[in-house]
Amino acid sequence: MDKPTIIRQDITHTLESNYMPYAMSVIVSRALPEIDGFKPSHRKLLYTRYKMNLIKGARTKSANIVGQTMKLNPHGDQTIYATMVRLTQGYAALNTPFVDSKGNFGKVYSRDMAFAAPRYTEAKLSEICTEIFNDIEENAVDLVDNYDGTLKEPVLLPTRFPNILVNPNQGIAVGMASNICPFNLNEVCDATIAYLKNETIDVLEYIIAPDFPTGGTLIYDEKEMRQMAETGSGSFKVRGKYTYIKKDNCIEVTEIPYTTTVEAIIDKIEELVKAGKIKEISDVRDETDLSGLKIAIDLKRGTDPDVLMQKLYKTTPLEDSFSCNFNILINGMPRVMGIKEIIYEWSLFRQDSIVRKYRFLIEKMEKRFHLLLGLKEILLDIDAAIDIVRHTEKEKDVVPRLMEHFHISEMQADFVAEIKLRHLNRQYILETLKEVDELEKEIARLKDLIEDPKKVKKVIIEELKQIQKKYPMERKTDILKHTEVVKIKHEEMIEDYNVKLFFTNHQYLKKITLVSLRSSGEQKLKDEDQIIQEIDANNRQELLLFTNQCNVYKMKLHEIEDCKASQYGVYLPNLLKLEEGEQIIAICSTSDYSGYMAFAFNTGKIAKVPLNVYETKTNRKKLIKAFYGKAECVGIEFVTDEDILELEREDEKVAYIPVHLLEEKQKRDANGMQALAITKKIGMKQMKKISEVTEEVTERLAKELPAISKAR
């Protein structure tokens, strides 16, 4: 058996010869739009309809259109039909839909609303397509062979308005992508007219902001808009619109961001409700029907709808970002351009289309003018022409004899020979001679026009004004300045309710609502476990957890799930990922980091540390050296200056000291001050905060430190 031949080849050569042609094909012939605002698939589809006379004719079955399009677009029928769906009025994805549709074509704002099969739907070109194809028969753009060379198709469509800016367009090529947001037709026309008159304009004075077919409210930041307008890159936020129905205590969302769907919004709301992160909603439904989009959100009693919507904007796709990337093919090369540059390129393209159109018309008129000049010569001696025709024996000799007698060209002589006998009357002769003069003037006018760029621009301006008048378009997307946006605080996103915290010896933490606590029975604990600390807290507070390795861990209480008395709660070592041998010895909750932490050591010293030394600007989860570690810690308590501490020695003698006598330390790991008198053999055993000040405590309260302990 022969050994296989191994050919060594440079990887760069392989990529260049194999991968580059594919990449360029995707970039140039598939994914990116050109200056007319269309990708090849859109162009082939629309041109097929135009050739089917669907711009003025009646609708036909979509299956028929798909089949005819395959003559230009050799892809599967489902791919072609899906492309057509996006262009339809029914799908509502474009500001100026190009397809007048009948039947179910789905909706751009619905993920699950599937479009019907092509055999059930009908379509034709919409009226605005007259502005797309009006000049195509007059050589305004180049025509090239289709994939098998049997038909011709346009390289670009001679659109009379900057469609590239009016309708959204998205494409993913190889190594690059394009994402063009839509703008209002009227505003784009105004900006283009102003630019053609003065190239130094500020386009943002005419194009206010993007305008989406799905409406919504755009959060307007002039800095963001200017970046997008000048560079073609940037992002902005769009949020949905809603109405509060007071009698039903219900919010109705009727417009959503272009980048999301009804189902995505509802799924996210349901997820938040199930997770307990939003408790103000009792039900959410999709009530979209033939009248349009509607998401109904039923509220619980006492809910502020505006505050709830601010929460939903922050946590669901009801507010979404649109990232712009104005990447467009210009003469076969991809370029990222700002709005003014796009208008400039489109105006060049349109000027070229108009010049080509008028040259075609001039050529046609000159041909007609040439024929009529020959006819004029004949009409000066019509009897001689008739005599030549009558007395010429052979038909083939008529044209040469006319040419010889009247000194006209063969084309002119052939035209004269074909004139019907009934046209040889005075009226026809006078009208023909009049047409000669009119043609001469029109040819001179058009030649003068195409040689003067200013006059060509005036033609474009007039076309744009006619389009504005014929297709008036109100803005669908409202504008809300970013300075007017109600910014909801993070705390307001968290539900506000009181809880009871139970910390056990086996390192379990229970967070129980007061309502649940009132209706529950005994606390469920593991065998030989016991509750060592109870704290009244609020769901919006932070929790500090001190360990035997002098570390403190910080958590948001709302991040811990509520539980019931019949549950064990959360196992903190797993939740906090404690190190081996590390155990939590005390917990503390706070909302503003006021007050102090008191750390008692067996040396009789107490460190009174302000709680705010544990506050951090960044969301740090762990702080080391949380307290003094060179002596055994025998008690940790959260205190204020009004509290009283009970200190117990190992010989069970106690002392009571007011917290205000303790000196405040600014370092977390300070060893404190001597608070209790001890001996070499007898140290401090424990420290705890007095919950009730009795007469005995008041009588034995220390006046100075260190306190002298006494028997109970």
pLDDT tens, position by position, 646-682:
999 999 999 999 999 999 999 999 999 999 999 989 9
From 545, 614, 557, 621, select the one nearest 584 (Cα to Cα).
545
Q: Among 271, 298, 317, give the residue marking a domain's end.
A: 317
372 plus 270 within the same structural domain: no
How many CA atoms are closer than 13 Å to the CA of 261, on its beta-carbon side? 11
Task: Give me the mean pLDDT over the 310-333 stretch.
Answer: 94
Note every long-range contact of 329-335, with CB atoms under 8 Å and residues 24 or more positions apart, other chains counting: 329/27, 329/28, 329/32, 329/33, 329/34, 329/35, 330/34, 330/35, 332/28, 334/27, 334/32, 334/173, 334/176, 334/178
Listing from the earlier edge strand, what are the strands of the sheet with 169-172? Answer: 169-172, 177-180, 319-325, 233-239, 217-220, 478-481
From 386, 244, 219, 352, select the one nearest 307 (Cα to Cα).
244
Cis peptide before 21 (omega within 30 of 0): no
CATH number of 290's domain: 3.30.1360.40
Sign for the CA dihedral angle at 498, 504, 510, 516 comes to negative
Assess contact for 588 and 596: CB atoms under 8 A: no
* 17 occurs within a structural domain: no
Residue 489: band (very low, low, confident or very high) from pLDDT cuts 50, 70, 90: low
From 563, 589, 582, 560, select the one nearest 507 (Cα to Cα).
582
Assess contact for 216 and 241: CB atoms under 8 A: yes
Residue 2: band (very low, low, confident or very high) from pLDDT cuts 50, 70, 90: low
Indicate whether 428 pLDDT > 80. Answer: no
What is the C-alpha to C-alpha distance for residues 684 and 704, in angstroms, rounded to an integer?
18
466 plus 506 within the same structural domain: no
Averaged confidence pLDDT in the chain: 91
Please write the tens of the pLDDT for every residue from 82-122.
999 999 999 999 999 999 999 999 999 999 999 999 999 99
Q: How big is the chain by its Cα radius of gyration, in Å?
A: 42
Task: Give me the mean pLDDT over the 156-173 stretch.
Answer: 95
What is the full DSSP assignment across 260-286?
A: --HHHHHHHHHHHHHTTS--SEEEEEE
Residues 6+ apart with CB under 8 A from 707: 647, 655, 656, 657, 675, 676, 677
309 plus 365 within the same structural domain: no
- Total number of residues shown for the chain: 712
- Phi, psi (degrees; rounded to nearest 5) at 295: -110, 120
What is the C-alpha to C-alpha distance for residues 232 and 221, in angstroms, rounded to an integer?
16
Assess contact for 540 and 558: CB atoms under 8 A: yes
Task: Give me the mean pLDDT over the 53-61 stretch.
Answer: 92
From 535, 629, 538, select the one nearest 582 (Cα to Cα).
629
Assess contact for 529 and 543: CB atoms under 8 A: no
Q: Is 120 a catalytic residue?
A: yes
What pLDDT was estimated at residue 78?
Answer: 92
Assess contact for 322 and 238: CB atoms under 8 A: yes
* 570 occurs within a structural domain: yes
520 plus 466 within the same structural domain: no
462 plus 515 within the same structural domain: no
Q: Among 137, 159, 181, give the residue marking a domain's end.
A: 159
Indicate whether 5 pLDDT > 80. Answer: no
* 649 occurs within a structural domain: yes
What pLDDT was estimated at residue 62?
Answer: 96
Q: Which two tokens stand for residue 315?
A: 């946590």
Going from the C-alpha of 401 to that of each of 397, 415, 418, the distances in angstroms are 6, 14, 14
pTM reported for the whole predicted model: 0.80
Q: What is the SS3 assignment for 480-531? A: EEHHHCCCCCHHHHCCCCEEEEEEECCCEEEEEEHHHHHCCCCCCCCCCCCE
Residue 518: band (very low, low, confident or very high) from pLDDT cuts 50, 70, 90: confident
What pLDDT was estimated at residue 205?
Answer: 95
Indicate whether 1 pLDDT > 60. Answer: no
Q: Which two tokens stand for residue 536?
A: 């009244």
Cβ burial of 690 (10 Å; 0-12, 13-18, 19+) is: middle
What is the C-alpha to C-alpha distance for residues 252 and 293, in angstroms, rounded to an integer?
10
Indicate whether 483 pLDDT > 90. Answer: no
Residues 6+ apart with CB under 8 A from 113: 106, 107, 288
Residue with the bigger pLDDT between 513 and 24: it is 513
What is the C-alpha to C-alpha distance for residues 481 and 323, in angstroms, rounded to an integer?
18
- Of the residues 19, 47, 109, 120, only one is catalytic, namely 120
Residue with the bigger pLDDT between 175 and 92: it is 92
Indicate whether 619 pLDDT > 90. Answer: no
Q: Which two tokens stand for residue 246?
A: 């007071």
CATH number of 452's domain: 1.10.268.10
132 plus 69 within the same structural domain: yes
How many CA atoms are closer than 13 Å to the CA of 352, on its beta-carbon side? 13
Q: What is the SS3 assignment for 521-539? A: CCCCCCCCCCEEEEEEEEC
Q: Which amino acid makes up residue 349?
A: F
Structural domain boundaries enclosing 625: 493-699
457 plus 500 within the same structural domain: no
Q: Which two tokens stand for residue 412?
A: 């002119």
What is the C-alpha to C-alpha distance for residues 523 and 503, in angstroms, rounded to an integer?
12
* 459 occurs within a structural domain: yes
Please write the tens of the pLDDT for every residue from 548-599.
999 999 999 988 988 999 899 999 999 999 999 999 999 999 999 999 999 9
Pairing of strands 644-649, 684-689: antiparallel
* 175 occurs within a structural domain: no
* 135 occurs within a structural domain: yes
Task: Give me the mean pLDDT over the 445-468 stretch.
Answer: 95
CATH number of 506's domain: 2.120.10.90
What pLDDT was estimated at residue 595?
Answer: 94
Cα 217 from chain centroid (whole Å): 12
551 plus 596 within the same structural domain: yes
What pLDDT was estimated at residue 492?
Answer: 65
Residue 463: band (very low, low, confident or very high) from pLDDT cuts 50, 70, 90: very high
Q: Among 269, 296, 317, give the residue marking a domain's end.
A: 317
* 680 occurs within a structural domain: yes
Please write the tens of the pLDDT for every residue from 333-353.
999 999 999 999 999 999 999
Residue with the bigger pLDDT between 430 and 481: it is 481
What is the C-alpha to C-alpha distance for residues 193 and 134, in angstroms, rounded to an integer?
20
What is the C-alpha to C-alpha distance for residues 665 and 608, in angstroms, rounded to an integer?
6
Greatest Cα pair distance, the chain, in angstroms, is: 154
Cα 153 from chain centroid (whole Å): 34
Task: Give me the mean pLDDT over the 423-451 stretch.
Answer: 85
Question: Which of left, alpha, beta for 354 (phi over 0: left; psi -120 to 50: alpha)?
Answer: alpha
% the chain with pLDDT above 90: 70
Q: 2-16, 348-362, 384-398, 515-529: lowest mean pLDDT where? A: 2-16
Residue with the bigger pLDDT between 432 and 78: it is 78
543 plus 655 within the same structural domain: yes
CATH number of 90's domain: 3.90.199.10
Residue 66: band (very low, low, confident or very high) from pLDDT cuts 50, 70, 90: very high
End-to-end CA distance of the chain: 103
Residue 15: band (very low, low, confident or very high) from pLDDT cuts 50, 70, 90: confident
Q: How many folded domains does the chain comprise?
A: 4
What is the C-alpha to C-alpha distance for residues 321 and 621, in angstroms, rounded to an integer?
30
283 plus 359 within the same structural domain: no
What is the C-alpha to C-alpha distance for residues 588 and 597, in angstroms, rounded to an integer?
9
Indicate whether 380 pLDDT > 80. Answer: no
Residue with the bigger pLDDT between 79 and 386: it is 79
311 plus 418 within the same structural domain: no
What is the C-alpha to C-alpha distance for residues 119 and 101, in angstroms, rounded to an integer?
13
Indicate whether 258 pLDDT > 80. Answer: yes
From 481, 412, 470, select the one nearest 160 (Cα to Cα).
470
501 plus 424 within the same structural domain: no
* 203 occurs within a structural domain: no
Strand ranges inside 300-413, DSSP E: 319-325, 327-330, 333-336
Residue 692: band (very low, low, confident or very high) from pLDDT cuts 50, 70, 90: confident
